[in-house]
Amino acid sequence: MSDCSNVAELIEKLKQVDLPVGYYVVEKDGRFLYANKLLLDLLHLKADNYLQASIADKYANPEERKTFVDIVLGAAARNQQPPKQVISFTVEGREIFVQDHCWPIYNPPESQKLVGFVGSLVDVTEEERYRRKLPVGVYRVNPEGMVVYVNQAMVKMLKYGSPEDIVDKKSVGELYFNPEKEKEFSDLLKEKGEVVDKKVELVKSDGQTIWVSASAYPLGDPKVDWVSREGVLVNVTVEELYRQIMEYVPVGLYRVLKKDGKNILHDCNRQFDEMFGFAPGTANGQRAEIVHVSPEDTVKYEKAIRDADLLGQPLVGYVLRTKKQDGTIIFIEANTRAIHKRGESGTEKGEIIGRIGALRDITNEVALREQVKEFTEDFGAVLHEYSSALLMLRESTDSALESLGQDPFPKVGEITPRVADQSLSEPVSKFIDSLIRLRSQMSVNRQPANLTPEEFEDLDNYQVLLKNPEKYIPEPALRLPAIRDAVKNILNLLDKFESSSQYQEQIKDVKRNAEEVLRICSLIYMHKAGNAILSLGKQVRAVRNFVTFHIREDRRDMHFVSKLIDQAVSEWADFAHIRNVEIKLDYIHPNVILNVSKDDVVRAMANLLHNAIKYSWERKQGVPPWVDIRTRVVQKWVHIEFEDWGVPIPADEIKNDVLFRIGVRGRLSSDRERGGTGVGLADARRVAQRYGGDVTIVSRPADSKGKPDNYKQPFLTTVTLRLPIFSN
């Protein structure tokens, strides 16, 4: 290389300067042409013979030398400054880490003939060893997007067994929680040439997510020839989750210390500055009173802090009227603790010399509280009017029932599918008999001209259906509309018969019997509508109470649990009668006393009782269903249990608390046309939790040998309301 004048000139220039880092010039294969004393000392090379050594021999991993050179040449090809790279060297059997910043040397300079490299080395062993102790994952991706290398830290971070579980088996997109985010990351890398500390959400092998701070650089020119990329990942899940929480809970942190009799602000965070309209960092050093509206507000605030301190407690939830720098009035919630000077003994508290705390802007909340109160009161009034309208509609259905003639059904009570089938049995039988008599009078050769053979076949099919509807329509809820539609369709076909004195009497007989069948169907529908309106009216009232829950005062008093249960039972006694459900009080502790708001707890009990009644099935023909209510005392809690025998609740809905979400009903809740609002369970749990209690559900096959995933069989469902006992 001695004949390369540009290299020789470069070496001479380096010898004339005293640089604070190790510099070197090497041939393209790595053999040294020059190294300053700092570099010789770093690599433990001797000045008299280092020219026979090669920098490539110092690499702990020889393959890393090729990667290093590719990155340097790739940057030079793009007319970019090569990046600084941390490399592991082995020096006299000891591993060290150096930061290498290297440039290629071409001769002549304008050519592409590579003759060597010039660079600098900085010892970063301490920093790198510290960094490698951190949970830092390293990876490489090929041009096709497949992961071709991961280190052990990344394997552990993503909870895989070994690198082989990822390498050449996973695309980098598969590691992302949202694969589209990987494309955004890749596009950003192409645009910027590098990505530094970008937070991304990955998914671990067990399906859980993890947040990492990702940095990456391309191997090659991403704008021309996308080769591959390398990157590092740092687990920042805790920091990210904390950051996400804090984004939605803006809290101003501050400290006030007395200096020369003045309250001076210290350690104010960014949220504090933004809250009061300060430029970043300018609140520190200001007098604390600068954010107070009046001296009177300051005096009251400081007195409240002292009063709380006398009790050994911080001041929590104090609402303070303050002002921004532009004079805008804002309300804050202050949570503050007094700062004391150390007492003379060294252990006792001295005088108060300041305070420290957190502030939350509640200006909008203060305004919204009044608006919400007005809205919920108005909404409650609307629901009250709706309840009145439902009552009027119920009275209208009663009038309509009277107009339909003799009613074989009781005034109050649910018309079960079995009762409906029995009431229709005789009228349908008479209708079929009259239809058979009509058909027997018809001669095959004299069938009416306006009735086709296909229509005659339809007539026969309807007749077969009506003779045995239970066989052809096993679902009870569908049987009634099927019978009604079959009769109506038969009447439509008879209307096509040509007028003939020969058949007029038989047709009249058929139509007369058909009208009786349709009349019974209408009665059943009207009874169902009336019962649904009555139930809906109570549900609307429950919604009204649910909506206005937070604006009512929590007035607690002593109540026997037995009396509260009695009141809840009386609320739904008429509904239970309609459903033909018996309410059984198995065992109610007579002396258990609760300190609760009566209206709220009765409503919670009534919600759970309503569900139990609504989802009950008949246990066997002729035996009405029943709901059991019982209490159990468990330590300082009373468990009020509501148990029904009927509609199952799938195990996954219980496990995932699906039924406690507002407006959500279970997927089997519409069994046998049962309506609902999806509010009762959520409201009951909210009431229970106000007192530190809860509502839980257990649903299991009624038959001990029944399979738990067979939801066509009856289940025993027990819903438990748990409340704290005041006295027993």
**Burial class, 63, CB count within 10 angstroms (exposed 0-12 / middle 13-18 / buried 19+):** exposed
CB-based contacts of 558, cutoff 8 Å, min separation 6: 593, 594, 595, 726, 727
pLDDT at 1: 36
Q: Which residues sit opposite 636 in a β-bridge?
A: none
Buried b / exposed e along 585-616 (16+ C-beta atoms within 10 A):
eeebbeebbbebbbebbbbbbbbbbbbbbbbb
By the 10 Å C-beta count (0-12 exposed, 13-18 middle, 19+ buried), 18 is classed as exposed
Give the pLDDT of residue 177. 92
pLDDT of residue 270: 79
* 249-361 maps to CATH 3.40.190.10: no
Q: CA quadruple 597, 600, 603, 605: dihedral positive or negative?
A: negative
Report the predicted TM-score, pTM, of the whole model to 2 decimal places: 0.38
The CATH fold assigned to 5-129 is: Beta-Lactamase (3.30.450)
Quick one: pLDDT at residue 369?
61
CATH superfamily of this structure's domain 555-724: Histidine kinase-like ATPase, C-terminal domain (3.30.565.10)
Nearest to residue 517, comparing CAs of 456, 455, 433, 457? 433
Write out the two tokens for 146.
Answer: 């497949």
Sheet with 349-361, edge to edge strand ranges: 262-266, 251-259, 349-361, 329-342, 315-323
Report the distance separating Cα 277 and Cα 324, nearest Å.
6
Closest CA to 87 of 108, 66, 103: 66
**Amino acid identity, residue 463?**
Q
Per-residue pLDDT, 629: 95
Residue 361 has a pLDDT of 86
The sign of the dihedral angle between the CA atoms of 375, 380, 384, 389 is: positive
Here the tokens at position 641 are 């249990």
In what helix (H) or strand (E) does residue 117 lie, and over which residues does it extend?
Answer: strand 114-123
Check residue 551 and give its pLDDT: 44
CATH 3.40.50.1970 describes domain 134-244: no
Question: For residue 108, is the peptide bond before it cis, meaning its omega torsion is within 30 degrees of 0?
Answer: yes
Q: Parse the chain into domains and list their residue ranges.
A: 5-129, 134-244, 249-361, 366-552, 555-724
> 230 forms bridges with which residues in the sheet?
140, 217
Would you say 58 and 76 are in contact if contact means Cβ atoms under 8 Å apart?
no
| Buried b / exposed e along 83-113 (16+ C-beta atoms within 10 A) | eebebbbeeeeeebbbbbbbebbebeeeeee
- Please give the C-alpha separations between residue 104 and each of 88, 263, 371, 549, in angstroms, as whole numbers: 21, 62, 71, 75
Two domains, one topology: 134-244 and 249-361: yes
Q: What is the number of residues in the chain? A: 728
Consecutive H or E run containing 173: none
State which residues of the chain have pLDDT below 70. Answer: 1-5, 130-135, 220-227, 242-250, 343-348, 367-405, 410-414, 442-450, 497-502, 530-554, 620-622, 662-678, 728
